[in-house]
Chain A
Amino acid sequence: MATTGIDTRAPAHKLSPRRLLNRTALYLTIAIVSFITVFPVYWMMISTFQPSKYIMHFPPPLLPQELSFYQFAELFTEHPVARWLRNSFLIAAMTMLLCMALSVLGAYALSSLRWPGRNLFGLFLLVTQMLPEILILIPLYIIYRRLNMLNSIPSLALIDAAFILPICIWILKGVFDTVPPEVLDASVVDGCTELAALWRIVLPLSAPGLSAVAVVAFFFAWNEYLYAGIMLSSGEFMPASVGLSTLKAIAQTPVEQYMAAGLVFSVLPVAFYLAMQRYIVSGLTAGAVKG
Chain B
Amino acid sequence: MSERVDANVLSERTSQRELKPRPRLRRYLLPFSLVLPIILYEGLLIVYPIAQGIYGSFTRIELASKNPPLWVGWANYERMFSDPAFWKVIRTTLLFTGLVIVVALTIGLLTALLFNRPFRFRPLARGMLMMPWAIPEVPVVMIFIWMLSPQFGVVNILARMLPGVTQNPQWLQVPELAMGWMVLISSWKAFPFYSLVILAALQAIPQELYEAARVDGASRLQLFWNVTFPGIGSTLELLVVLAAIFSFKQFTIIFLMTGGGPSGTTETIVIRIFNTAFRFYDYSYATALGVAGFVVSLAVAFVFILMQARRAQESA
Chain A interface (Cβ < 8 Å from any Cβ of B): 5-6, 9, 26-27, 29-30, 33-34, 37-38, 40-41, 43-44, 47, 55-60, 62, 102, 105-106, 108-109, 113, 115, 117-118, 121, 123-128, 130-143, 145, 158-159, 161-163, 165-166, 169, 191-196, 199, 219, 222-223, 225-226, 230, 241, 244-245, 247, 249-250, 255, 258-259, 261-263, 265-266, 269-270, 273-274, 277, 281, 284-286, 288-291
9 smallest beta-carbon distances between A and B, as pairs: A262-B139, A273-B134, A162-B45, A223-B136, A115-B31, A139-B53, A139-B49, A139-B52, A130-B301
Whether B209 is near chain A, meaning CB under 8 Å from some CB there, is no
Note all chain A residues with C-beta closer than 8 A to B221. Answer: none
Note all chain A residues with C-beta closer than 8 A to B121. Answer: 5
Distance, CA A56 to CA B154, complexed state (A): 10
Seed contacts A30-B114, A136-B50, A270-B131; 5 additional CB < 8 Å A-B pairs: A33-B129, A105-B37, A142-B63, A162-B46, A284-B193
A5–B120 touching, CB < 8 Å:
yes
Note all chain B residues with C-beta closer than 8 A to A26. Answer: 114, 117, 119
Note all chain A residues with C-beta closer than 8 A to B102. Answer: none
Note all chain B residues with C-beta closer than 8 A to A43. Answer: 143, 146-147, 154
15 sampled A-B residue pairs with Cβ under 8 A: A57-B152, A59-B156, A60-B157, A113-B31, A115-B28, A130-B300, A132-B297, A134-B251, A134-B270, A135-B291, A136-B49, A194-B27, A222-B136, A269-B134, A281-B197
Note all chain B residues with C-beta closer than 8 A to A123. Answer: 305
Note all chain A residues with C-beta closer than 8 A to B290. Answer: 134-135, 138-139
Whether B248 is near chain A, meaning CB under 8 Å from some CB there, is yes
Task: Kindly report which residue of chain A lies nearest to residue B198, judged by CB atoms.
Answer: A289
- Given known A-B contacts A43-B147, A142-B56, A142-B63, A105 and B5 have beta carbons under 8 A apart: no
Note all chain B residues with C-beta closer than 8 A to A245. Answer: 138, 141, 256
B137–A225 touching, CB < 8 Å:
yes
A286–B308 touching, CB < 8 Å:
yes
A132–B193 touching, CB < 8 Å:
no
* Segment touching A, from B78-86, B169-177, B210-218, B271-279: B271-279
Whether B32 is near chain A, meaning CB under 8 Å from some CB there, is yes
Distance, CA A57 to CA B8, complexed state (A): 73
Partner of A58, one of B27, B52, B119, B156: B156
Give B18 Cβ to nearest chain A Cβ, in Å.
16
- Residue among B61, B131, B305 with max Cβ neighbours from chain A (10 Å): B131
A40–B39 touching, CB < 8 Å:
no
Note all chain A residues with C-beta closer than 8 A to B129. Answer: 33-34, 37
Give B182 Cβ to nearest chain A Cβ, in Å.
15
Note all chain B residues with C-beta closer than 8 A to A163. Answer: 46
